[in-house]
Structures are given as structure tokens and as C-alpha cells.
Chain A
Amino acid sequence: MRTALHIVLLAVLLAGCRKDEGPDADEPNVPFALQLPPGATMPTTPSDNPLTDASVRLGKALFFDTRLSRDGSLSCASCHHPDKAFSDTLALSLGVDGLPGLRNAPTLGNVAYHNAFFRDGGVPTLEMQVLAPIHDQVEMDHNVTIVATSLRDQEPYKTLSMKAYGRMLDPFVITRAIASYERTLISGWSRFDRYLYQSDAAALTDAEVRGWQLFSSAELNCTACHGGYDLSDHDFHNVGQYLDYADDPGRERITLQPDDVGKFKTPTLRNIARTAPYMHDGAFATLDGVIDHFAEGGQPHPNRSPEMVNFVLTPDQKADLLAFLSALNDDRSLDQVP
């Protein structure tokens, strides 16, 4: 009896030395099995932030947590909602206290392939991008250190942070985990992808095929910027939206070069039918309006891209082009709210 008691006491004492890392802390952290659609390449990840099950789970939990905002009203998903292909329905998203932001919230689909972030490309990594909305006074208006302090002892953050990064939740972990989750938002399972990358001729309707042919034609010249797997060159162009960009100089804000006034990063067209309104400031409510703008060639701003060419579409051709753009809808890429 005494021996048994001693064994129990010994076990209790030894248990006192164990680090408490949560209910599944002992399960191994494994690489995240990123599923890539045909035609997609494996995105690169920073050496200090490999995709793992734990980092993605942690990032997803943070992405949907409204405690990242000062008043607890907004999460990342508030302006990048899955139902809207991780974008917003407003021209300018509203931050805490209802303050409007500077620009239209873009989709996060395929951000894993971008090499610069925000519409002016001012931020070089997804990890650093995370800081901006948390601290911006017209977005979440909070402090990432305060966020980390308030969440670090709570689950699932406590366990997942240790498992993914071997440290308690802090700004390092928050920025990397959210970036990891965002890298998993790969889009490439649309009917257009089946048509193009899997040789499934029946995946598109006749109207959609005609729209694709128009889209990729030399006359419309859309693919000059909206080409490649992501239907974007991820470069910066002035498309003649305005003559005066005093309200938002775009890329010039970062480079300070006059030649960059009015240039904004080419957005992906994946899920484009779900991400209205359009352009950097949400000025166009519909794709119909966007097509009209490009057909007219835009305003003659000195920095307007030479790729901007006037074109004329019949109503049927315009309908075909719109049909093609809708064929870029990709339900599978729309992750669900946890």
C-alpha cells in the first residue's frame, strides 16, 4: 500500500515538471498538405515560416478572430469574407468606428504567388502585410503586441503557437501564422481551369469560349496584363482611370517616382464576378462598367499604360466576355468560416 502511495507521489512530482501545452500538444506538427489545382505551381514560403498543419490552423483561427481589432468588432474576414472570395462588397471597407479605409479590399485568392502586397506593392512579404491592417487607425486600430498578450494564454492559441513555432503567441507568431493561412487560399478549380488545364472542352459553354477568345485576342489585349496562371502579371499599371490621382497616387506613394503616379497592381481575375465593386477605389459597381472603361481606353493620363487600347464590342460580344469572367468562379477555393 505504502509502495503504491510512493509511486503515485513520485508520478505527481514528475508531472509537475511537464510543460503544459494543451490537449493535443504532444501530437506531431506535420507539413501542411497544400492541394494544388492542375496548372498551379507550389508557392514559395519563407524558410522561417514553412506551411504546417499547426501554423495554418493557428492562422485561420486568428484570421476570423474579431479580437484583433481595438473594439472587438472586426476580424480580417470582415473585409476579406470567404463568401465574397475573401473580398468586401463595399467600395471602401469600414474600419473600427465606421471609418472608411483608403482602398477597396482585394480578394486574397492566390496571394501566395504575389511578390508585393497592397495595391501599391508597398509591403514585400505576407508576414509584414499582416501588421498594417491591425495597426491602421482606419482599419483595426489595435496593437499586435496587445493582441498577443490578450490571447496567448487562451486556446487554441496557446497550444497551436507552441506547436507551430515553439513559442508563445507574440507578434512574430501572429504575423507568420496569418500569412501561412493566407498562402493556402489557392484558386484554380474553376470551370475555366478545367477547360484550359485539363482539356475538358465541355467545361465551358459556347458563350464562355467565345468570351475567352475575345479576352485573349489582340484586339482587346486583356492578357497583356491579365495573363498567366493567376490572370495577373502582378505588376503595376496606370489604366487611365483618372486624370488626377491626388487622392491616391498609387505606386508613387512607395517609390516617390512621378512615373508611378496612378499605377496600381493588376488584380487577379479569379472569382472576379464575386468581388464587386472594382478598381483600387471601388469606383465601378459592376463588371459591365469595368469593360466599358477599358473599351474607351481610359483617361489620357501621362502614365497611362501603352497596353490600353480602345475597342468596340457588340452587346452579344460583351455578354460573352461577361460569361467568360463568370466562368472564373471557383467555389472550391472559398474556405469556410470555422
Chain B
Amino acid sequence: MRSQNLLPRLVLVVAVLISFVGCRVDPPIPPTEGTGPPTGTLRLTMIPEWEGEPLQFYTEYRNVSDYRTTVEVLKMYWSDVRLIDGLESTPVSTVELFNLQSGPLIREWKVAPGSWTGLRTGLGVPEVLNHSNPADYDANHPMSINNSMHWGWAAGYIFVMFDGRYDPDPASTAPFVTAYSIHTGMDTCYTEMDLLPVLPITVAKDSITNVIVHVAVDAFFHSNFGTIDLATENWSHGTNFPLALKFTHNVVQSFSIE
């Protein structure tokens, strides 16, 4: 009699257990250690600066034309980032988006140990990436449509987004009213650049190597390629391409590495 009552209960308990096992989400399998190639960490700190001091967004500066100037937006893509030594190189990152709105940014990458003379990167993204569909990237990917760095009309990405305000009257104390907005893009603006520190970049296994990249934002307005006069050169959104090219050259010249 007792065994007759127990059997259905036993069946139920087993069924419940089977059901829960069916719903169980397997925990991720931890990576196996010691089987991959040895790696070190390359840590890059990018610091936007104005005349050698950390840039303060929305703060009034004087630019090369002695215009009252503020910076409100500074975002840029780096792509095909590599450590280089002559013709040799090792990949670091396919694409990175630097939004410097909140000041210095830090990126860390696992790379093969070695000694390298510098860092090579594209400013912007190369053609294949440039014309990829931003809807295909996860929301957290640097090329996601969420980052507002895509020109839908041209099916291409904005490489550098630089916005702010200016006033040609250096003596004025009035609030800023005139905006500048220089957005570069299109394949022609894609530029590779080499950042070569004085000392080699040495990456050792299981350790962190620090490099600091300074961005002289005040130099965006002038270089050996030419000066940008915001009074007449303040807008480029795929149009005014000569300005986009001059600005791109100036930005490339603005980087230094230590």
C-alpha cells in the first residue's frame, strides 16, 4: 500500500528534475590557460590638450587666429592599429572609437610580446569598413549606429567629428553664438600615420606597457599644411572637401606619443 503511494510521487519528482535540467543554462566554460600564445598588455592613454594642458570642453581658448574658441565635441576613429618595426608589424586593434568628451581615454589590448619602434594607425576607417552596414554591428561595437558617427546619405562613417563655437573678436565677452562643425569622412580622407616614440615600445609577457598619446587640439587649426580660419572655414559635413582634407592633415600632425 505504501509503495503504491510512493511510485507516482517518485515519477513526479524525477519529471520535475528533468524539466528543470532542460531549462538550465550551462555556465560558460572558462578559457583554458596556458595553451594560447603568450601575451602582454598594451595600455594606451589618449589625452586631448590645448597648448600642452589637458583640454577642457566648453572652456574659452584663443586659437591661432586669436579667435575666442571652445571645443564641444571631439570624436575620432582609429583603425588597423599595429605595432611596427620597419616592415614588421603585429596587429593591435581593428577599429577604435575615441570619444574624448570626458577627457583622457584608456584602451588596453592583448598583444604578442616584443619590441617595436612605434604605433601605426589609420585615422578614420579603410574603405571596406567604411562602407559596411552599421546596422550589422552590436550596440556596443565602435562602429554601431548608436555612436552617431555614420553618414546614412553616403553609406560611410564620419572619421573625425570636431564641433565647437568661435568668436573672431578676441576682446568680446559676449556669449558665443557662432558654431563651427568640421566632420571628415569619405574614403579620400582616410590617412595612415606613424606615431614614433623616442624609446621603443617593449611589450613583455604578462605585464603592462604604457604609451601616452597627446592630441594637441589647438594644432587642429594650423600646421605646415595650412591654417584654418574659422571665419570662413567652419563647416564641413561631406561638403567643403578642401577644408576636410586640410583639417585631416592638421589632425594627423597634432599627435605625439611617449
Q: Nearest Cβ distance between residue B135 and chain A, in whole angstroms? A: 4
Query: For B16, B135, B145, B146, which residue has the most chain A Cβ atoms within 10 angstroms?
Result: B135
Identify whether the interface residues of B are mostly helix, strand, loop, or mixed. Answer: helix
Tally of contact residues, A, Cβ under 8 A = 36
Q: Do B155 and A124 have beta carbons less than 8 Å apart?
A: yes
Q: Do B145 and A131 have beta carbons less than 8 Å apart?
A: yes
Contacts A124-B155, A171-B135 hold; do A131 and B150 have CB atoms under 8 A apart?
yes
Complexed CA–CA distance, A128 and B186 (Å): 16
Complexed CA–CA distance, A171 and B136 (Å): 7
Q: Which of A17, A120, A132 contacts B23 (CB 8 A)?
A: A17
Q: Do B136 and A254 have beta carbons less than 8 Å apart?
A: no
- Inside 8 A of A254's CB, which chain B residues have their CB? 154
Complexed CA–CA distance, A121 and B11 (Å): 67
Complexed CA–CA distance, A174 and B135 (Å): 9
Complexed CA–CA distance, A195 and B19 (Å): 66
Complexed CA–CA distance, A316 and B188 (Å): 52
Q: Nearest Cβ distance between residue B228 and chain A, in whole angstroms? A: 19
Q: Nearest Cβ distance between residue A128 and chain B, in whole angstroms? A: 5
Q: Do B16 and A13 have beta carbons less than 8 Å apart?
A: yes
5 pairs from A and B in contact (CB 8 Å cutoff): A6-B8, A10-B19, A127-B133, A129-B152, A136-B153
Complexed CA–CA distance, A281 and B170 (Å): 42
Instruction: Please list the residues of chain A having a beta carbon within 8 angstroms of any beta carbon in chain B.
Output: 2-3, 6, 9-10, 13-14, 16-17, 118, 120, 122-125, 127-136, 143-145, 170-172, 174-175, 253-254, 256
Q: Do A2 and B8 have beta carbons less than 8 Å apart?
A: yes
Nearest 4 Cβ contacts at the A-B interface: A132-B152, A171-B135, A13-B19, A123-B155
Question: Scoring B residues 173 to 187 as 1 if CB is less than 8 Å from chain A, else 0, what string do you get?
Answer: 000000000000010
Q: Which of B8, B19, B153, B186 contacts A14 (CB 8 A)?
A: B19
Check: B231 CB closer than 8 A to any chain A CB.
no
Q: Which of B12, B145, B155 contacts A144 (CB 8 A)?
A: B145
Q: Do A171 and B23 have beta carbons less than 8 Å apart?
A: no
Complexed CA–CA distance, A128 and B132 (Å): 9
Contacts A131-B135, A172-B135 hold; do A10 and B153 have CB atoms under 8 A apart?
no
Q: Do A171 and B153 have beta carbons less than 8 Å apart?
A: no
Q: Do B154 and A171 have beta carbons less than 8 Å apart?
A: no
Using CB atoms, name the residue of chain A closest to B239.
A253
Complexed CA–CA distance, A132 and B135 (Å): 11
Q: Nearest Cβ distance between residue A116 and chain B, in whole angstroms? A: 10
- Inside 8 A of B133's CB, which chain A residues have their CB? 125, 127-128, 131, 175
Check: B139 CB closer than 8 A to any chain A CB.
yes
